[in-house]
Amino acid sequence: MHPNQNTNEKERNMKKCLLCVLTLMMVVAFGWTLNAAAEEGVTDTEIHIGQWGPQTGPAAPWGAVARGTDAYFKMINAEGGIHGRKLVHHYFDDAYNPAKTKAGVKQLQEDIGMFAWVSGVGTAPGLAVKDYLLEKKIPWLGPSAGSRHWVEPPHKYLFNTYPLYLGDAQVLCQYAVEKLGFKKIAIAFQNDDYGKQGLEGAQKQLAKFGLKLVAEVPVNVKDTDMKPHIMKFRKAEAEAVLLFVGPGHVARLQGTGKAMKFEPQWMTSTTCGDVPLMMHITKGGYAGTILASFGMVDPGQIGVGNVENINDPSHPLMKKYYNDAFKKFAAKEERWGLTFAAGIAYVEPFVEALKRVGRDLTREKLVAEMEKIKDFQGINGRISYAPFKAGDPTCRIGQTEVFLGQATKDAKLKVLTDWIKTEYIPKGK
């Protein structure tokens, strides 16, 4: 073989090797970048997550939910993030106004691009954006409202965590009849889907005992004068009154009732389960109120009849969140309580699924991991999902158990029951 031919062959082989190396380097360099940018809201170092919540307006006490989520995400970031990515939390004040919710969600989604949306206070605000998010196949995880609308019909990209209001009403009515011996039960219900589902649950449960509500009183969000409502309850001689309204109306109803010398056994849904907050809002009038609760306290750990100090939690995870999320990342004027902690509880399954997915994060892989969650328990009760099945609400309900407690005069929670599994009531049945 001619020497020049041998040299040329070597040069060609070297060029081939060099080309292979360069190609491999380009695949590695650009492949990772393309992979990270392939999913909206996900970069090589960040995951963008959206949320709304009322920081002002009549439902402002529930604004702590979004602030709790924010502190939780900051705690996770301080601990290294999730698979090398930080959680970038975008939340805004919608003032519990569905029009503002819709405008804010659309702006964040189209201007910045959220990978997913979490929590979001209120049935009406949630309904305003539900179709927009789901038509775009954007995951919405842990709505901060126990509405049947989230699961009936079920949607592939929507995962509920909050026990349904229907169940709250069932458990409260059952306790009022079986444990307290009451037969005259009434309800004040917010005149929207939240309140009406509480009304329906109460009607269904009382029918099992051959009873009917002695008074059904709707309350509009802007109502301020509660005297007509109290007069209806007093005329009906109600022994217990269920309150499926917001914190402000609970305070008005209890305060007006006391002034008019009408003080039944007040019973509230999970939406008003933050005892220290409610004691503050009602100026102590909330004491003695029986309430439904879905977590932040484990009745099995504390024991029925015992008292939990919310400000000195016994739950190990609540202790961690108090020290590592609230104390380190909440604003100085923030108040620790169940509403703030609920903002953490609603998104714990989402964070768990993110961890399970791994580095190669997509919306479809997130959904797949969410569907595998079974009996997951953070600071809420047990949460389970299943592979999506059209027509089967149970695949997306999440949590189906609650317990009852009672507010004490010193703003603590007395545990009245262990976890109680609620019954799902299909619409129209």
Residue pLDDT, tens place only, 62-79: 999 999 999 999 999 999
**Average pLDDT of the segment spanning 52-71:** 94
Q: In sequence order, what are the residues at sequence separation of 6 or more whose Cβ sits closer than 8 angstroms to the Cβ of residue 287?
A: 279, 407, 408, 409
Domain boundaries, the chain: 1-36, 46-163+312-391, 165-293+404-421
Contact by Cβ (8 Å): 159, 393: no
pLDDT of residue 204 exceeding 90: yes
pLDDT score at 300 = 86
pLDDT score at 174 = 97
**Average pLDDT of the segment spanning 336-361:** 96
3-state helix, strand, coil in the chain (%, to 5): 45, 15, 40
pLDDT of residue 22 exceeding 70: no
What mean pLDDT is reported for the chain? 91
**Average pLDDT of the segment spanning 406-425:** 94
pLDDT score at 10 = 52
Contact by Cβ (8 Å): 53, 61: no
Among 3.20.20.70, 3.40.50.2300, 3.10.20.30, 3.90.105.10, name the CATH number for the domain at 165-293+404-421.
Answer: 3.40.50.2300
pLDDT score at 395 = 96
- Matching fold, domains 46-163+312-391 and 165-293+404-421: yes
pLDDT of residue 23 exceeding 70: no
Nearest residue to 47 via CA among 370, 378, 377, 360: 360
pLDDT of residue 32 exceeding 50: no
**Average pLDDT of the segment spanning 364-393:** 96
pLDDT score at 34 = 43
pLDDT of residue 30 exceeding 50: no
279-298 per-position pLDDT tens digit: 999 999 999 999 999 988 88
Contact by Cβ (8 Å): 47, 40: no
Of 17 and 61, more confident:
61
pLDDT of residue 355 exceeding 80: yes
pLDDT of residue 16 exceeding 70: no
pLDDT of residue 402 exceeding 80: yes
**Average pLDDT of the segment spanning 128-150:** 95
pLDDT of residue 331 exceeding 70: yes
pLDDT score at 427 = 81
pLDDT of residue 35 exceeding 60: no
Other residues' Cβ atoms within 10 Å of the Cβ of residue 420 = 18
**Average pLDDT of the segment spanning 385-408:** 95
CATH superfamily assigned to domain 46-163+312-391: Response regulator (3.40.50.2300)
Q: How confident is the model at residue 25 (pLDDT cuts 50, 70, 90)?
A: low
Q: How far apart are CA 49 and CA 51, in angstroms?
A: 7
pLDDT score at 130 = 97
pLDDT of residue 255 exceeding 90: yes
68-116 per-position pLDDT tens digit: 999 999 999 999 999 999 999 999 999 999 999 999 999 999 999 999 9
pLDDT score at 237 = 97
Q: How confident is the model at residue 359 (pLDDT cuts 50, 70, 90)?
A: very high
Lowest mean pLDDT among 35-44, 290-299, 353-362: 35-44
pLDDT score at 313 = 87
CA distance from start to end of the chain: 91
Q: In sequence order, what are the residues at sequence separation of 6 or more whose Cβ sits closer than 8 angstroms to the Cβ of residue 388?
A: 154, 156, 367, 371, 395, 396
Where are the extended beta strands (E) located within 22-157?
46-53, 86-93, 116-118, 140-141
Q: How confident is the model at residue 9 (pLDDT cuts 50, 70, 90)?
A: low
pLDDT of residue 157 exceeding 80: yes
pLDDT of residue 245 exceeding 50: yes
pLDDT of residue 416 exceeding 50: yes
Q: What tokens does 172 get?
A: 């409260």
**Average pLDDT of the segment spanning 249-270:** 97
pLDDT score at 31 = 43
